């Protein structure tokens, strides 16, 4: 028998959850050792020219760079662990992929409300837009998301959880759960202007799922270590 050494893995991202957290959680859930490297903006500017596709998160595996967080999530789930995070059975995989796609749809719906505050030029507004005008736009977009888009998506996720039970795709955690968890945690942390920390309170089934996810031993240990 030959022992195959675990590769040396570094996940590089900013000191936030955002696009990297689902990949971190997949590594945590599969018991895969990795360096959780957090960089600031100045460090990123130095790193960017040599980074694959010029973006983060970046996974470096035995010196080889890998990028694109959706691909990283799936790769980790297939490469490590017992396979339950991303099942190979076509029907089970479809269930996971449909939940990932629904999560992606919610991210797209939230996108304008998020990026208006950071990059108003993306939406045709001048770089030097007056701060009070930008704030008013952000407020309008975020309040509209909370009033219209969030209830729609929470209704869909609630229906799925009522059907499946413990987790999005059944009695085991999958990468769909790992992607959705940080996405929804963001709305409960009071870190986004005009998004109250109790925004998910009207959705008890979803709140129950978040509580179950945060009680999973590997995930609990991960977040406990970040306190």
**Span 91-140, pLDDT tens digits:** 999 999 999 999 999 999 999 999 888 888 888 888 888 989 999 999 99
Predicted confidence band at 226 (pLDDT cuts at 50, 70, 90)? confident
**In terms of pLDDT, which residue wins out, 144 or 6?**
144
Please answer whether residues 117 and 139 qualify as being in contact, where contact means their C-beta atoms are separated by less than 8 angstroms.
no
**Region of residue 22 (phi > 0: left; psi between -120 and 50: alpha; otherwise: beta):** alpha
Output the CA–CA distances (angstroms, integers) from residue 210 to 62, 82, 126, 184, 220, in the order listed: 34, 23, 39, 8, 11
């Amino acid at each position: 028998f030959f022992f195959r050494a675990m590769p040396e893995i570094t996940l590089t991202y900013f000191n936030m959850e955002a696009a990297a957290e689902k990949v971190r959680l997949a590594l945590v859930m599969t018991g895969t050792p990795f360096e959780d490297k957090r960089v600031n903006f100045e460090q990123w500017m130095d790193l960017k020219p040599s980074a694959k596709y010029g973006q983060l998160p970046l996974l470096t595996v035995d010196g080889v760079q890998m990028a694109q967080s959706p691909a990283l999530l799936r790769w980790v789930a297939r490469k490590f662990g017992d396979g339950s995070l991303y099942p190979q059975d076509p029907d089970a995989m479809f269930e996971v992929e449909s939940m990932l796609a629904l999560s992606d749809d919610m991210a797209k719906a939230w996108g304008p409300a998020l990026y208006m505050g950071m990059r108003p030029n993306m939406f045709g507004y001048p770089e030097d837009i007056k701060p009070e005008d930008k704030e008013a736009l952000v407020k309008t977009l975020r309040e509209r998301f909370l009033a219209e888009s969030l209830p729609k998506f929470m209704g869909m996720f609630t229906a799925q959880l009522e059907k499946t039970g413990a987790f999005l795709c059944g009695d085991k955690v999958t990468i769909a759960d790992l992607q959705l968890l940080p996405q929804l945690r963001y709305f409960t942390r009071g870190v986004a202007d005009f998004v109250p920390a109790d925004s998910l309170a009207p959705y008890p089934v979803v709140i129950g799922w978040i509580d179950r996810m945060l009680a999973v031993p590997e995930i609990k240990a991960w977040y406990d270590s970040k306190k």
